Amino acid sequence: MAVEVILPVLGETMDEGTIIKWFVDVGQPVQKGEPLYQIETDKAILDVDAPASGVLRKIFYPAGSKIPVLTVVGLIADPNEDVSVYEQGGLEPSKTISETVAAERRPMAEGPRKGLIPPRVFASPRARKLAAEHGIDLTRLKGTGPGGRIVEQDVRAAIAAMEAEIKEPALAPAAVEAVPSPSESKPLAGVRRIIAERMSTSAHTTAPVTLTTEVDATNLVQLRTLLKEQLEPTLGFAISYTDILVAIVARALREYPYMNVRLVQDEIQQVAQVHIGVAVDTERGLLVPVIRHADQKGITEIARTLRDLVARARSGKSLPDDLSGGTFTITNLGMYDVDAFTPIINLPECAILGVGRLREVPAVYQGQVCVRQMMVLSLTFDHRLVDGAPAARFLQRIKQLVEQPYLLLA
């Protein structure tokens, strides 16, 4: 008998989804429980398993379709079964299917997706209030109160753990124990959610100001070309602009320690170490590996460290310390032809530097119009912690070091 394939409800707040791809073509056999197609919700990318064994006879919505939940998207039936009555029947789910899905939505319902419906978190009002104040996600805590209720003490412990590592994981808190298994699609959702939470906390709690400055990077380009030519054979890789920029920013932070601060409760803490995070685009989403003591490392050492960090991040094998404890973040979108942008501060840090694309433009240089390599730097800083003029001086120093990179030797 033909079984309709529906777009299931995979979370309490889910009301629509986009089909990313079908794993099975029309006419091919499917086994019940095997992944049939993949959808993207507002939170995650998830596989939907075949509801029955048979042949995928119809696909009503191809990849790319954005459709409401409970819509019938395909049909599984015996190879010879007459399914003509189901033609264009994919707009409304039949009653039986609705009921099946309704059953599946019940918290107690058995099914492969039940874990995706967030259970009610039992936490005291006091714990909830405290968690909200500190941006703690209660679903990630284990309660020690009566009946497993999360109480104030549990939240305090989480906050202490977070602060003890000064370093709250760049974008993925190391305190999180429930690292999802890489073989499933959950990790994507997890990282995505953390990103969402942290970005919105930053956007809602900081007083961000973005300063932009255009930099003549001709000398930087020259330096990078030289380093690449000279070192690539021995290193086995090319020194990147980012590597040099890390060194420059680390130097500037050492000289302007008021930018190397973080806000912890009501205290502005100046941090002795300079740990620079670099935003990296990975399959799992945005991650920010941290180069520790960047101000004490040479460019090659920075480059090596960064490559290792990025490799681990991209392969999902980051060590806990890889992603935590930064005091400043660099994010580079130049390779995507972005000139300037307004990055979001990576809390609890005070500022973030956005690097724009390098491009050749006619510029006035030493009284003559000539071709120069220009680049825009965007510094977003938290005005609660530092004022505009000091932040501008810091950016000006970076500009100076980019334009005259030999000053790094001074």
Residue 112 DSSP SS3: coil
Q: Which is nearer to another protein, 152 or 165 (CB)?
A: 152
For another protein (CB under 8 A), the number of binding residues is: 12
Name the catalytic one among 134, 204, 293, 383: 383
**HSE-up (13 A, CA, CB side) for residue 406:** 4
Q: Which is nearer to another protein, 158 or 253 (CB)?
A: 158
Q: Which is nearer to another protein, 121 or 166 (CB)?
A: 121
Question: Shortest approach of another protein to residue 123 CB, angstroms?
Answer: 9
Angle at alpha carbon of residue 286, lines to 285 and 291, rounded to 5°: 135
- Interface residue with another protein among 32, 106, 126, 317 (CB under 8 A) is 126
Taking the C-alpha atoms of residue 375 and residue 363, their distance in angstroms, rounded to an integer, is 12
- Interface residue with another protein among 32, 66, 106, 129 (CB under 8 A) is 129
Q: Which is nearer to another protein, 142 or 384 (CB)?
A: 142
**Residue 145 binds another protein (CB under 8 A):** yes
Taking the C-alpha atoms of residue 385 and residue 366, their distance in angstroms, rounded to an integer, is 38
List Cβ neighbours of 200 (8 Å cut-off, separation of 6 or more): none
* Short-list 39, 35, 32, 34, CA closest to 8: 39
- Written as six digits, the tokens of 32 are 């019940």
**Residue bearing tokens 């961000």:** 208
**Residue 149 binds another protein (CB under 8 A):** yes
- The question of whether 275 is a catalytic residue gets the answer no
* Short-list 380, 382, 364, 383, CA closest to 372: 364
DSSP3 helix / strand / coil % (the chain, rounded to 5): 35, 25, 40
Residues within window 151-170 making contact with another protein, judged by CB under 8 A: 151-153
Question: Shortest approach of another protein to residue 145 CB, angstroms?
Answer: 7
**Residue 148 binds another protein (CB under 8 A):** no
Question: Shortest approach of another protein to residue 125 CB, angstroms?
Answer: 5
Q: Which is nearer to another protein, 28 or 144 (CB)?
A: 144
Taking the C-alpha atoms of residue 283 and residue 185, their distance in angstroms, rounded to an integer, is 11
**Residue 317 binds another protein (CB under 8 A):** no
The residues binding another protein (CB under 8 A) are: 124-129, 145-146, 149, 151-153
Just list the catalytic residues: 383
